[in-house]
Structure 1
């Protein structure tokens, strides 16, 4: 195991100051390319859609998707257990502009404030009374074995939510073949649609873009996409479906539909 602390881990300010979520990848990419590591694991939602990946690297596997939901947690001593019960002006912590926009759509009276750090530090700040609620990914809580009361929010997840992407050097055929044993076909098909949509929108790290694909009971691949203003007061929505092997085409269509409805104006109106 090769432990790497990335610029995104070290920096405590806004990720936009480092050029976005790519700050979690650059040092890891260099370790792979230099041969200091053979395999890397990423939370796919942290892989930007507007920054080309190195041609020498490949995502050889997408592990089966965990629960992609966002969950709102409350201080351990609080009797409040749902978004609706928060008082006007309550402080909600999250690092995701996508979550911020959707929470403010539901509750424009709340104060949604920037919160970064590992899960333990975020929970500590919540329980100290600094926030009235925070929002985290359920998949991350589950992977860490953290089980505490909270509310699953009815908001659209980030592209790649709940998916671990396993990356290696394209030229290392034996390693690629080994890693591919971890690949989950349905997850890969869903991811292909979501990532194609994200690429088509060319959003930056401050773009409130949400997208989620699923294979329905009829075997069709369905993709929902949304783009918001930062305060959630304006948004565009698109949904379409396709055969499961046409994820790339589906993502491109949904992106085009969102752009036709004004997504470019919403994205370009938000500073990097």
Structure 2
């Protein structure tokens, strides 16, 4: 199965259209062998990586995997390992109906989705009789630590959020006065003791919200995300004319001072 295919140019890199021989696509394959005691080992074969417009080298034997332990041993298979005949505990028959496959899966770890290879041994009915996991090199044993899934469906665990310090603020205003929201403010509550007052929700706003009634309370808040609080527009301001009075309370991240 291809592990990290590297595509070539349409001409194979030779400059001659239609001239495309072997391109770089290293791959790992495994074949099931049975030992005299009935256990199964996987013979691991690795293909070479050829440059574009260059003949691919013959596959080379990397070593073998003991499916009972997952351990990899470089070099030839054990002397007693033979093609599985299906007459003992191993898979397959004389006509070779049993086989081995390699799947590329992903392990959902706290650090993200980690790709690895799962080598499966099948009997003649297609049932899995043995399995071993390795890193993408096909030789280094790998032990999944999280949920295993197809890489297209792998979702890494949500990272814990760092606490965000927030501070409340409260101020009483009597006109004529103007109050501007501190940076990082996620919510504001306005209580009108005596109107009128005008609220401008953003920088450059010319059409404010005029509030004439006394005793009215209004709230503004900015939606946040799972890990970050929201923030109101920094140009949010309240104009209090002469004769009017209000109370303003707010909640800000970073604990900025009132303007």
Q: Is TM > 0.5 for Structure 1 vs Structure 2?
A: no
The structure whose Rg is larger is 2
* TM-score, normalised relative to structure 2: 0.18
* TM-score, normalised relative to structure 1: 0.18
Q: Which of the pair has the greater relative contact order for Cα pairs under 8 Å at 6+ separation? A: 1
Whichever structure has more helix as a proportion of its residues is: 1
